[in-house]
Amino acid sequence: MLIATVFILDGCGGDADHPKSKILTFPVNREPVEVENSFAKDNPFYKQRAGAFYDTKYVSYSAAQLFDLARVRPDQMTGTLDSMRAFVYDWLDFYVRGGGKITDDQRQECVSRMDERFKALLDEKQFKLYQKWRDDTSGKLNTLEFLINQGPKTGLPDEPKPKAN
């Protein structure tokens, strides 16, 4: 379920191509994880501490990279940041619940949720560039790639390995 807040700006400095700019915001669940496992016990408020660190260290840089690549408009910037923050906190929630581990299916669920947010936020051309950003494994386009691209993608076959001669 995708939840967003929408504000419509009519003639308030929107760009010429988008006179009625929509500002979408997405909720970010920063609530503590209520689970009893040794990881949660040994790492109280891990989700909040790690989330604040990732926000400072990675989200702002990753957003700037996507702003540039996909030509994110000013009215899309808040939604872009919210989408990335929500992804990070979703990922951390699974991580804490999993006792310091996250499965590929859980990671893919986080990515799918982020895709939904960006699909609602960006136009078609921007969304294709977002997908390029999302799928980058070099770390040059996306500093969050270590969370997004961890392990093989769900549903995609592994590349065949060359046979040894």
* 96-109 tens-digit pLDDT: 999 999 999 999 99
Note down the domain range covering 69: 28-148
Structural domain contains residue 99: yes
Structural domain contains residue 40: yes
Number of domains comprising the chain:
1
Residue 67 confidence (pLDDT) above 80: yes
| Average pLDDT value for residue range 16-40 | 77
Q: Which of 81, 117, 84, 102 is nearest to 150 (CA)?
A: 102
Structural domain contains residue 13: no
**Assessment of whether the complete model's pTM goes beyond 0.75:** yes
Structural domain contains residue 37: yes
Structural domain contains residue 2: no
Residues 6+ apart with CB under 8 A from 126: 70, 71, 72, 76
Residue 139 confidence (pLDDT) above 70: yes
CB 99 within 8 A of CB 39: yes
CB 108 within 8 A of CB 26: no
Structural domain contains residue 132: yes
Task: Enter the DSSP assignment of 59.
Answer: I
Structural domain contains residue 75: yes
Structural domain contains residue 96: yes
